[in-house]
Amino acid sequence: MTGSPSDVPPLKVLQVGAGGMGRAWLSAIAANPDVELVGLVDLDAAVAAAALAAAPAGLSERDVTVGTDLLEVARTSGASAVVDVTVPTAHHPVTTAALFAGLDVLGEKPVTETVAEALSLVAATQLTGRRFVVSQSRRFNQQAFQLRAFAQALGAAGTLACEFFKAPHFGGFREQMPHPLLVDMAIHQFDLARFVLDADPVAVYAEAFNPRWSWYAGDASAVATFEMSDGSRFSYSGSWCAPGLETSWNGSWRLSAEGGSAIWTGDDAPSVESVEPIDVAEVADPGRELAGSLAAFVAGIRDGAPLMCEAADNVLSLAMVEAAVASATSGQRVAIDDVLDRAYEAALARETRDDVREALAAWPSVLEGLASPAV
Ligand SMILES: NC(=O)c1ccc[n+]([C@@H]2O[C@H](COP(=O)([O-])OP(=O)(O)OC[C@H]3O[C@@H](n4cnc5c(N)ncnc54)[C@H](O)[C@@H]3O)[C@@H](O)[C@H]2O)c1
């Protein structure tokens, strides 16, 4: 149980990364009395100082250690957990350093840039006994929990479909990436599909393409069909250059199941129509997006209970992205097991820490390794 601020001291956190999303995290931390910001780190100290100065009142006035070196700020600030809001390429080094310094980590999505790096971090959690939870903030939405409750009440799932059509002009790196939609955005919907179906991916066939009018250099549109472990199919269709009648940022959803159907616009309460009357479980409000994700992390650190987006589980959401890109590139159906096996070989080959490589090498298989407890 989460204690009230009066009877349990707040969790001392150190935030790494003070860019666009870092500022949103500073606001989420400021709004949660169960956490206390004691340090803020960025490669650019001026960026960190400016973000702190712009943070909500209360945070900027506190005694927060600002610096460019995670380990040094961790030592001087007395932090016991890290909120990692750095760019994806930094997630692996930042999280490795934090875990081996004895800190628990709540990290922005994606877990890491590659599945191989994610496997390395799971082994690091097992070696250190520290927690690494990924903030899949779009799960933290009462409407998504409601859709999941409908799915549970409707019985065997047939098809879960998600349409994601937006037309943002971001400028910057997204307009230069080879797969902006699949790599930067689709992880949210892929992860939500796992959550709603309570099933894991088995294989995918995907196509990625760039419409003639696209303002992106890479493929801004994609379709993907995933076979899921419950026998259902998750079909995703999306575009980032789709002006007119845009969907919500969560996407527009339809579940077809044995007992009926449910739909969700991603912005409004989902609706359900069943063949027979159904019993739908009450759904508590998990808190919205970053606030919900942070509250769940604090509760999990305090009571030690498993959390739904621990890295060992979240690896499978990133594997969906990597498999979809591999399928779109090769034109072949791609099995998730093959993605995991290739990532495992790469993780062993590239690991720079002997202790992590030995821990990885001791896994009987990737899935058994992911399920292993701390050593
Ligand atoms: N959940 C969401 O809806 C959502 C939305 C946007 C971004 N994100 C994620 O948030 C993360 C950050 O995105 P952003 O848009 O804030 O990026 P950004 O580029 O605006 O900011 C990243 C910051 O991290 C700093 N940084 C990079 N490497 C570092 C390191 N090794 N140590 C310390 N600081 C380092 C950079 O200097 C920069 O200030 C990414 O993983 C991104 O995918 C999530």
* Count of alpha carbons within 13 angstroms of residue 173, beta-carbon side: 4
Q: Is 30 in the pocket of ligand 1 (CB under 6 A)?
A: no
Q: Which amino acid is at 207?
A: E
With a cut of 70, say whether residue 47 has pLDDT above it: yes
Answer whether 17's CB lies under 8 Å from 91's CB.
Answer: no
Q: Give the residue carrying structure tokens 């006035």.
A: 61
**CATH value at residue 264:** 3.30.360.10
How many A from CA of 337 to the centre of ligand 1?
A: 30
Answer whether 374's CB lies under 8 Å from 125's CB.
Answer: yes
Question: What pLDDT, on a 0 to 100 scale, did the predictor assign at position 2?
Answer: 43
Mean pLDDT of 314-335: 98
With a cut of 70, say whether residue 60 has pLDDT above it: no
- Alpha-carbon span 108 to 251, nearest angstrom: 20
Angle between helices 289-303 and 20-30 in degrees, nearest 10: 60
Q: Return the structure tokens found at 31.
A: 């709004």
Atom number in ligand 1 closest to CA 18: 39
134 found inside a domain: no
Ramachandran category for residue 350: left, alpha or beta (phi over 0 → left; psi -120 to 50 → alpha): alpha
Question: What pLDDT, on a 0 to 100 scale, did the predictor assign at position 375?
Answer: 64
Number of domains in the chain: 1
Report strand pairing: 221-228 vs 201-209: antiparallel
146 found inside a domain: yes
Q: Which residues contact residue 169 at a Cβ distance below 8 angstroms, ignoring those fewer than 6 apart?
A: 215
DSSP state for residue 9 in the 8-state scheme: P
- Give the residue, 61 or 353, on which the prediction is more confident: 353
Q: Which amino acid is at 373?
A: P
Task: Quote helix, strand, coil % in the chain, to nearest 5.
Answer: 40, 20, 35
Q: Is 50 in the pocket of ligand 1 (CB under 6 A)?
A: no
Answer whether 137's CB lies under 8 Å from 238's CB.
Answer: no
Q: Is 85 in the pocket of ligand 1 (CB under 6 A)?
A: yes
pTM of the model: 0.96
210 found inside a domain: yes
With a cut of 50, say whether residue 62 has pLDDT above it: yes
219-248, pLDDT tens digit by residue?
999 999 999 999 999 999 999 999 999 999
Q: Is 39 in the pocket of ligand 1 (CB under 6 A)?
A: no
How many A from CA of 101 to the centre of ligand 1?
A: 21
Strands (E), the chain: 11-16, 35-41, 65-67, 81-84, 104-108, 132-135, 157-165, 201-209, 221-228, 233-239, 252-257, 260-264, 271-274, 334-335
Question: What pLDDT, on a 0 to 100 scale, did the predictor assign at position 305?
Answer: 93
Question: What pLDDT, on a 0 to 100 scale, did the predictor assign at position 95?
Answer: 98
- For the chain, what is the mean pLDDT? 95
Q: Which amino acid is at 22?
A: G
231 found inside a domain: yes
How many A from CA of 146 to the centre of ligand 1?
A: 30
Q: Is 49 in the pocket of ligand 1 (CB under 6 A)?
A: no
Answer whether 110's CB lies under 8 Å from 186's CB.
Answer: no
155-200, pLDDT tens digit by residue?
999 999 999 999 999 988 889 999 999 999 999 999 999 999 999 9
204 found inside a domain: yes
321 found inside a domain: no
- Residue closest by Cα to atom 2 of ligand 1: 137
Answer whether 192's CB lies under 8 Å from 250's CB.
Answer: yes
243 found inside a domain: yes
Query: What three-state secondary structure class fits 79?
Result: coil
Q: Is 69 in the pocket of ligand 1 (CB under 6 A)?
A: no
118-146, pLDDT tens digit by residue?
999 999 999 999 999 999 999 999 999 99
With a cut of 70, say whether residue 274 has pLDDT above it: yes
261 found inside a domain: yes
Question: What pLDDT, on a 0 to 100 scale, did the predictor assign at position 6?
Answer: 56
Question: What pLDDT, on a 0 to 100 scale, did the predictor assign at position 173?
Answer: 85
DSSP state for residue 172 in the 8-state scheme: G
Question: What pLDDT, on a 0 to 100 scale, did the predictor assign at position 61?
Answer: 64
Domain range for 236: 142-274
Q: Which amino acid is at 15?
A: Q
